[in-house]
Amino acid sequence: MIHYRKLMDWKFEDIEHHYTSDFSMLYALSIGVGADPLDERQLRFVNDVEEGTPLAMPTLSTVIGFPGTWMRHPDTGIDVLKMVHGEEHIALHAPMPAAGRVIARHRVTRIVDKGEGRGATVTYEKLLFDAQTQAKLATVTHTTFCRGNGGFSAHDGLTDTPAAPPAKVPDGPPDQIFDVATLAQQALLYRLLADRNPLHSVPAVARAAGFEKPILHGLCTYGIAGYALVAAYGDYDPSRLKTLFTRFTAPVMPGETVRMEMYRQATGVAFRARVLERNTVVLDSGYAEFQ
């Protein structure tokens, strides 16, 4: 069972992440950039033969300073077999460097009891700083839905107010569509960046979890969404993306095609993503802001 105060006070050590341009290029390849190796705009993220390349995708911020599987520690009280990725939000304060030393600082910011049998949500924040200048690079907010932890507040009455629900994505034909065909080995590629959860690489583990085969990481799908937005509304300039939020609604199976359906709004872009092979929405309530 979750103990609110213990989880809110969870101690995280600062993580110093030193990475090279190879890491940034691997990340870009793992979210589908470079599928057309003749597209000069894509090559700027996956090649380093010209001055100023590679560029880093903004969603690289989600894998830098990865805190590991801390939620699986028994002292958290989280039922790890019933937790799923709920939401992700990034705010970019400066362009992500394609190489460098970055400090990641984590903290739990919100724990919401939805009620007995309805689960709970745990939100934690990651702040990324340039290790040399201490300039803030990004704020990454990660929300996990803990399906087995509803009702925890009954013993002490402690729970947070839920965040305001995100706006719904418009109905009707999207203003732009962007398709990314994932590879059969996409999860095996993406896991080299941070998350080695065997759910994404071991068939027996995936079957035990109720899937026919290993599923794609949710943050890989999130990266695909970021790539599509930068391409469609940022003219492949990663510095133009300022915020990116979405809810995870279903997993992607490696080898499926992710279709981004995007709607231009007054201050940004609303979006959802679906896999064409199953006509299933995998990301919803998405919103991005550009400068």
Q: Give residue 248's identity as a one-letter amino acid code.
A: F
User: Is residue 221's pLDDT more than 90?
Assistant: yes
pLDDT in tens, 57-81: 999 999 999 999 899 999 999 999 8
pLDDT at 81: 86
Model confidence at 175: pLDDT above 90 = yes
How far apart are the C-alpha atoms of 120 and 113, rounded to whole Å? 5
As a whole number, mean pLDDT of residues 164-179 equals 97
Q: What is the number of H-type helices and E-type strands within the chain?
A: 6, 10
Query: Cα(102)–Cα(63) distance, rounded to whole angstroms?
Result: 12
Range 114-140 average pLDDT: 97
Q: How confident is the model at residue 98 (pLDDT cuts 50, 70, 90)?
A: very high
Closest CA to 166 of 51, 40, 77, 268: 268
Structure-token pair, residue 219: 């943050």
- Cis? peptide before 238, omega within 30° of 0: no
**For residue 127, what pLDDT is reported?**
98
Sorted by where each starts, the structural domains of the chain and their CATH numbers stand as: 4-290 (3.10.129.10)
The span from the CA of 238 to the CA of 231, in Å, is 9
Is the pLDDT at 10 greater than 90, yes or no?
yes
Share of the chain above pLDDT 90, in %: 97
- Res 155: pLDDT: 86
Q: What is the pTM assigned to this prediction?
A: 0.97
**Residue 263, amino acid:** Y
What is the average per-residue pLDDT within 145-154? Answer: 96
What number is the average pLDDT over the span 92-100?
Answer: 97
* Nearest in space to 140 (alpha carbons), one of 220, 237, 66, 251: 66
pLDDT at 174 over 90: yes
In terms of Cα–Cα distance, which of 260, 233, 235, 234 is closest to 246?
Answer: 260
Query: What integer is the mean pLDDT of 215-232?
Result: 98
Distance between CA 109 and CA 178 in Å, rounded? 34
Assess whether pLDDT exceeds 90 at residue 115: yes
Helix (H) or strand (E) holding 243: strand 241-248
Is a pLDDT exceeding 90 seen at residue 27?
A: yes
Residues 6+ apart with CB under 8 A from 96: 56, 57, 58, 60, 61, 64, 137, 138, 238
Amino acid at 119: G
Structure token digits, residue 129: 């700083």
Q: What is the pLDDT of residue 104?
A: 98
Q: Quick one: pLDDT at residue 169?
A: 98
Catalytic center residues: 195, 200
